[in-house]
Amino acid sequence: MKHILVLLCVSASLCEAFAADASQPNILIIYADDLGFGDVQCNNPERGKIPTPNIDKLAAQGMRFTDGHSSSGVCSPSRYSLLTGRFHWRTRLQSGIVGVFGEPLIAPDRMTIGTLANQHGYRTAAIGKWHLGWDWPPAKEQRVLLQPSRTEGKDDEAKPKQSPAVATEKQAEFWREFFSKPIPGGPTTRGFDTYFGTDVPNWPPYCFIENDRTSGIPTGFLPTSLVGNNQASQQGPALRDWKLEHILPALGERAAQFINESAKHNAPFLLYLPLTSPHTPLAVNAEWKDKSRLNLFADFVMETDAVVGRVLDALEKSGAADNTLVIFTADNGCAPYIGVKDLEQMGHYPSGPLRGYKADAWEGGHRVPFIARWPGVVKPSSVCGQLVCQADFLRTFADILGAKLPDNAGEDSFSLLPLLKGDDKPIRENAVSASAQGLPAVRSGAWKYIPGPGSGGWGQGGDQSQPVQLYNLADDLGETKNLAAAMPEKVAEMQALLEKLITDGRSTPGAQQKNDVEVKRYPTKTAAAPKKKAK
């Protein structure tokens, strides 16, 4: 009898453990690239002219956040923050992005959403654009062999003509060795069981990467006909007959394949799907060209929406949709160079009511589409106006899994779970996003402080005579009224908040942490804070 009771207890424990595992939701994060807040129709019904039916449907089935932010106005830093729950400006990447053939930005021992999920029995995959660096094999001085050498004409000294790049025998030999080796330091070393993608679609190498190896050996440089004009950014090693148009559909198919395979396993899955679109190259497939009747970027937004629909359809058909938390968001705002001014003249405003675009400290740079669907938990067609960040994903997933994060993980991550369940109270009081040049945008409730003039992005703009900026977004979402000169006490308060967030090494409660480097302080010497008015 005693043995029977022991067996019954063991069986009950196993059943309970299995039930707990079965209750863990799958997690699907779809991460668009350079998609403005107003490029999604449901965010911008009056001034948005691009149809996005699949993304809109996702919002109708879940919750749309209207004050959701990426960590930066550009790519790599936002990806770092989403994956680690930590603001990127605590790392060496104080400005800009990870360069071509750059080194890993995420430290090997840093927890990511992938490592967290792995610890709880999840199958994990990253499919799409990585752009967070790898430990590429050769020494930096050898990498000149990855670059085209050209013969320059002398017809125009200011703009020398360049002949098409052709790989030399020495380069071809080097490539055979270089691209036949495994590439350490990528997604499969940062918490993901598998990876498939192009790393950066407009940069070399122009080939897919599967796990830690290129899919094939590049044999020549990408043709000059595919460089510039919002296609590839530069020449570099490419597979023969590489087609930029094939990238986005391939990612959609791979994601659908992973979802279908995962449905056959007992373990839950986490799929991080950072799409390569609608970022350049604007490699629109034939069936989508001129579909928007606006421009090529708008066509690409529509094709991106279709791929989102393809992936969500695969999730539905797999039978896993009812137990899957789906998050859709973007790494930063719409890039101004894709014809923004022409779009606005045609009635489409990529940033909606917001000021600025990609790269800016203004809202259009980092306030992005932000949608969550979780059947049975998230109320359909709900809207949340609370301040949230992509850094919040790590602690949200930990909260869902009942896990406690160590002090040195998710330092800037707050749980979205109360909001997903319907609470309408702030989960975070402050946040810091940054421009491409590193200029911080500090939020405290509805107040926003930018400790410098202009956008901090590519175009700068704005009143350069104003050394700092202060806005009340509750009354002035478009950031049209700089209150800094009139409210020096508030400026000082926001400056002190920024300094505390830097020196604490975290914005969440917990033990003080070290930043990876000395964080650059703003305002700079050339842009001092406004002095208090004399009474």
Q: What is the pLDDT of residue 141?
A: 65
Measured CA to CA, the distance from residue 244 to residue 531 in angstroms comes to 53
Measured CA to CA, the distance from residue 253 to residue 507 in angstroms comes to 38
Question: With left for phi above 0 and alpha for psi between -120 and 50, is residue 27 left, alpha or beta?
Answer: beta
Alpha-carbon torsion (103, 106, 109, 113), positive or negative: negative
- DSSP state for residue 141 in the 8-state scheme: G
Helices (H), 320-478: 340-345, 363-366, 393-401, 417-420
Q: What is the pLDDT of residue 4?
A: 42
Q: Which H or E run includes 7?
A: helix 2-22
Distance of CA 122 to the CA centre of its chain: 22
For the chain, the structural domain boundaries read 22-154+164-429
Q: What is the pLDDT of residue 254?
A: 98
Environment class of 158 (CB within 10 Å of its CB; exposed 0-12, middle 13-18, buried 19+): exposed
Question: With left for phi above 0 and alpha for psi between -120 and 50, is residue 528 left, alpha or beta?
Answer: beta
Name the pTM for this structure: 0.92
Q: What is the pLDDT of residue 149?
A: 67
Q: What is the pLDDT of residue 526?
A: 56
Q: Chunked in runs of 10, what are the mean pLDDT values of the chain (535 residues)?
A: 42 37 84 98 97 98 98 98 98 97 96 98 98 86 76 37 73 92 97 97 98 96 95 95 97 98 94 98 98 98 98 98 98 97 98 98 98 98 98 98 97 98 98 98 98 89 84 98 97 98 98 98 68 41
Distance of CA 413 to the CA centre of its chain: 15
Do 163 and 223 form a contact (C-beta atoms < 8 A)?
A: no
Do 372 and 416 form a contact (C-beta atoms < 8 A)?
A: yes
Count Cα atoms within 13 angstroms, Cβ side, for 441.
Answer: 31
* Topology given in CATH for the domain delimited by 22-154+164-429: Alkaline Phosphatase, subunit A (3.40.720)
**Within 10 A of 222 (CB to CB), how many other CB atoms are there?**
23
Q: Which of 131, 134, 133 is nearest to 34 (CA)?
A: 131
C-alpha radius of gyration, the chain, whole number = 24
Measured CA to CA, the distance from residue 68 to residue 367 in angstroms comes to 6
Measured CA to CA, the distance from residue 502 to residue 117 in angstroms comes to 28
Tokens of 285: 């497939």
